[in-house]
Amino acid sequence: MAAKLVPIQTLPGQCHQYYDRLTQARSHSFAFKLDQMRKVSIDVANQRHPGLFGDLIYSRNIEVMLRSESGDQQRLFSVAPGDRDREVITLASGRYLLELKTKTSKTVDYALKLTAMKWLLLEFA
């Protein structure tokens, strides 16, 4: 399975948007590096509208995975056709690989927005 690798610089407060088509034969990977611990917002929109009956089997057809340079892998979320999902996670400094995959045989248009937050908010008990 060939992957498309897109490097992204994550400056605080700056967002990066990417639009493309995802297929079962080709996953998309986005490499990014954090200089210090930050909250990172990952926002994925699935642009394909579901058919009347066609997408009932593949109700969530984009999977979003995150890998760290130490080899740890984490499944973040999946996105249904015509839907959008956003997750904010706290990541330590280092290099990361964000991977988008689909299991459906149809082409899926998607939009990705990656934002490194300016400030890390700590919760106090």
Asked if residue 108 belongs to a domain, the reply is yes
Instruction: State the total domains in the chain.
Output: 1
CATH number of the domain enclosing 7: 2.60.120.380
Residue 13, pLDDT above cutoff 70: no
Asked if residue 122 belongs to a domain, the reply is no
Residue range of the domain that includes 35: 2-116
Asked if residue 124 belongs to a domain, the reply is no
Asked if residue 123 belongs to a domain, the reply is no
Nearest-angstrom CA–CA distance, 56 and 71 = 34
Percentage of the chain beyond pLDDT 90 is: 7
Contact 65, 98 (CB under 8 A): yes
Asked if residue 101 belongs to a domain, the reply is yes
For residue range 46-96, what is the model confidence (pLDDT) as tens digits? 876 555 555 444 456 788 999 998 888 988 888 887 788 889 998 988 899
Asked if residue 87 belongs to a domain, the reply is yes
Q: What is the pTM of this model?
A: 0.73
The closest alpha carbon to 22, from 96, 69, 81, belongs to 81
pLDDT score for 32: 85
Asked if residue 125 belongs to a domain, the reply is no
Nearest-angstrom CA–CA distance, 93 and 91 = 7
pLDDT score for 1: 38
Nearest-angstrom CA–CA distance, 24 and 96 = 22
Nearest-angstrom CA–CA distance, 75 and 101 = 11
pLDDT score for 120: 52
Asked if residue 121 belongs to a domain, the reply is no
